[in-house]
Amino acid sequence: METGKILTIEYFHGSKFGNGVRVAEEFKRLMREKGVAVNIHHVGEAKPKALPPADLYIFSSPGRMGRPRGCVRRFLKKMKLPAGTKYALLTTEGAPRPDKKTGRMPTEEEIAKWQKVRPKMDEILQAKGLVKVAEEKVYVTGMKGPLEEGWQAKVAAFTSQLPII
């Protein structure tokens, strides 16, 4: 992870049921305590070819059939940022569930086979020459929520991954 002073973060999400907004607002609150300004935008209201300048961009999408929402994928593909721009991912993804027959929870490797939200986003962003500095996922326990228990601690841990001096 590279270090550097981050003063401004532009946070773009594709929340459908409000879980991603809750995560974004908690992130903004935590960063405000560190003296960092965070501006939150829904991808449907942002102009991907005219993004505001920032020291770091955060992109978030809920999982839809194991992939980022279509509106987020389209936004990322159209987006114009210079190569070398720093970004981070903070996604909301469906919580793994036990096998209905055996009751066994899937392993991380098994989850990675069907949950491709962050890898798909990375693929688009890294093809543009952007540089990832951090990532985290917050699980959503049902189709529309709620967020997993202790989700605020995951967001706090994510903020500590960011290269802030």
Residue 99 lies in a domain: yes
Half-sphere exposure of 10 (CA within 13 A, CB side): 16
Residue 2 lies in a domain: no
The pLDDT score that the predictor gives to residue 46 is 97
Q: Which two tokens stand for residue 135?
A: 């990532």
Full domain range(s) for residue 121: 8-161
- pTM for the structure as a whole: 0.91
Report whether pLDDT(20) > 70.
yes
Per-residue pLDDT reduced to its tens digit, 108-163: 888 778 789 999 999 999 999 999 999 999 999 988 999 999 999 999 999 999 98
Residue 31 lies in a domain: yes
Residue 3 lies in a domain: no
* CATH number of the structural domain spanning residue 75: 3.40.50.360
Residue 68 lies in a domain: yes
Residue 112 lies in a domain: yes
Positive or negative: CA dihedral 143, 147, 149, 153: positive
The pLDDT score that the predictor gives to residue 4 is 59
Per the structure, the count of domains in the chain is: 1
**Residues 6, 56: contact at Cβ < 8 Å?**
yes
Residue 111 lies in a domain: yes
